[in-house]
Structure 1
Amino acid sequence: MPLLEARSLRKAYGDRVVLDDVSLTVHPGDVVCLIGSSGSGKSTLLRCLDLLEEVDDGVIELDGFEVSDPLVDPRDVRRDIGMVFQAYNLFPHRSVLANCTLAPRKVHGLSKKDAEARAIDLLTRFGLGEHVHSHPDRLSGGQQQRVALVRALCTSPKLLLLDEITAALDPELVGEVLAIVRDLAAGGTTMVLATHEMTFAREVATQVCFLDGGRIVESGPPTQVLGDPREPRTREFLRRVLPQ
């Protein structure tokens, strides 16, 4: 059974349609990369999947349960979903450790001891062990983004959503963040991520979806979508973004 299934999603802001009949199926262990130009609908799709935005039409199911029903409390759904934004969104007045333990303690009911043990283990694994008591403004952009990833992982989510997490980073910091995502993919973490990193998508994705004008124009394995795209619009996009 799919972990996540979205069917015929539509989202508009006034007269501007940003998602138009979008369907997506994600199985456990999948890494789905969303590619496309800025404004194509990638971030909006992720925000709808996390229930940060309410869809105007269509259905979202997580583990076989419809979560897009207005009667469903989004906070309950987000217990099983981790979301990481390009702007980190860390609490500046809290330490790295406090950022990472807040949700496990307040939302999942873990004890302080257990939450801190898990957070320290993950922070150490991702090269941040010496920064557990630092505040975010003392860290580099790459370190802050790694903290944001750890914070999402501390709740043991079934699904991880990543929204252009390297877009705000200096080029030399991109690699260190993508290396962590590679490790997560190799470990079986189910992910849907919006990215401009085509080489990364080719190496790691199980499925690539090209969005244009709020629609999924083409989807399939990376060897097909990135290597032998069928749709003219996909070929045009890739000619612009792939090195010649």
Structure 2
Amino acid sequence: MSLLNVQALRKTFGANVILDNFDLAVDSHECVTLIGASGSGKSTLLRCINLLEIVDDGQIFLDGEDITDPSVDADTVRARVGIVFQAFNLFPHMSVLNNITLAPRRVHGVGKDQAEHEAMEMLDRVGLRSKASARPDSLSGGQQQRVAIARALVNKPILMLFDEVTSALDPELVGEVLAMMKDLKSDGMTMVIATHEMGFAQQVSDRVVFLEGGCVAESGPPEQVLVDPVDPRTQQFLKRIIDAGRL
């Protein structure tokens, strides 16, 4: 069974259908990249998987468990499914260390010493141990995004979701965040990534999924979807990307 299995998912906001009978299966250690125009449903899908949005119909299975069951504890699921957004969402009045230890201590009941020890190990991993006592606004955008990734990883998730994590960064800072994600891929982390970075998608993905109108229009290896797409909608989308100089 796949680690993540999204079945016939439907999500609407008022009269707007965002996801329509959407299916997606992701195996353990697989990196799946979601591409598509703004409004195609990529971010909404990630928020549904992390239970930040309530689905209207369909089911989401994580490691065999139906996490859309109303009896499921959302905080328990979010400890297993990390999510990083394009906005860093760090608390500006807290140090980097306190940002990372907040959820383990307050939500998951981890003791202060253990939480800080694990947070420092994670800061080592993202190359920011020296910034533990710093406030977020003293860091570059790339550093803040790496702190956000560390905060998501400290709970030892089995699945990581990334929602356009480089969109808010200056171009010269994008590389350090993408390098961090490549390291996670090398470590075998299961990831679902929504991105407009087509070159990165080509390098890191096991599979690329093109969304159009809340549905899967095309799915396959990056060398097929990004280089030789079959669906005319994918062809048109990539032509716009190429014309804009982003592939």
* Aligned position for 2:94: 94
* Aligned position for 1:208: 208
Unpaired stretches in structure 2, ≥5 consecutive residues: none
Identity of aligned residues (%): 58
Please report the TM-score for the alignment, with normalisation by the length of structure 1: 0.97
Aligned partner letter, 1:5: N
* Aligned position for 1:133: 133
Instruction: Give the RMSD, CA atoms, in angstroms.
Output: 1.1
C-alpha distance in 1 between matches for 2:121 and 2:62: 28
CA offsets per residue over residues 149-175 of structure 1, 9 Å max, x none? 000000000111110000000000000
Aligned partner letter, 1:37: A
* Aligned position for 1:104: 104
Aligned partner letter, 1:200: F
CA offsets per residue over residues 103-161 of structure 1, 9 Å max, x none? 12223332222211121122122221111000111111111000000000000001111
C-alpha distance in 2 between matches for 1:148 and 1:27: 24
How many aligned positions are there? Answer: 244
* Aligned position for 2:158: 158
Aligned partner letter, 1:21: N
* Aligned position for 1:144: 144
* Aligned position for 2:172: 172
3-state DSSP of counterpart to 2:161 = strand
CA offsets per residue over residues 38-58 of structure 1, 9 Å max, x none? 111100000011110011111
3-state DSSP of counterpart to 1:21 = strand
C-alpha distance in 1 between matches for 2:135 and 2:180: 21
* Aligned position for 1:2: 2
3-state DSSP of counterpart to 1:38 = coil
1:1-244 matches, within 5 Å, as: 1-242=1-242, 243=245
CA offsets per residue over residues 12-65 of structure 1, 9 Å max, x none? 111110111110001110111000011111000000111100111111001101
C-alpha distance in 2 between matches for 1:76 and 1:180: 25
Q: CA deviation at 1:221?
A: 1.1
3-state DSSP of counterpart to 2:239 = helix
C-alpha distance in 2 between matches for 1:10 and 1:70: 16
3-state DSSP of counterpart to 1:46 = helix
C-alpha distance in 2 between matches for 1:157 and 1:65: 15
Worse overlay, 187-196 or 74-83: 74-83
Unpaired stretches in structure 1, ≥5 consecutive residues: none
Aligned partner letter, 1:185: K
Aligned partner letter, 1:35: I
Aligned partner letter, 2:173: L
Please report the TM-score for the alignment, with normalisation by the length of structure 2: 0.96
Aligned partner letter, 1:131: K
**Are 1:79 and 1:107, in contact at CA under 8 Å, matched by a contact in 2?**
no
C-alpha distance in 2 between matches for 1:32 and 1:157: 16
Q: CA deviation at 1:208?
A: 0.7
Aligned partner letter, 1:206: D
C-alpha distance in 2 between matches for 1:117 and 1:133: 14
C-alpha distance in 2 between matches for 1:77 and 1:121: 23
3-state DSSP of counterpart to 2:123 = helix
Q: CA deviation at 1:72?
A: 1.9
3-state DSSP of counterpart to 1:72 = coil
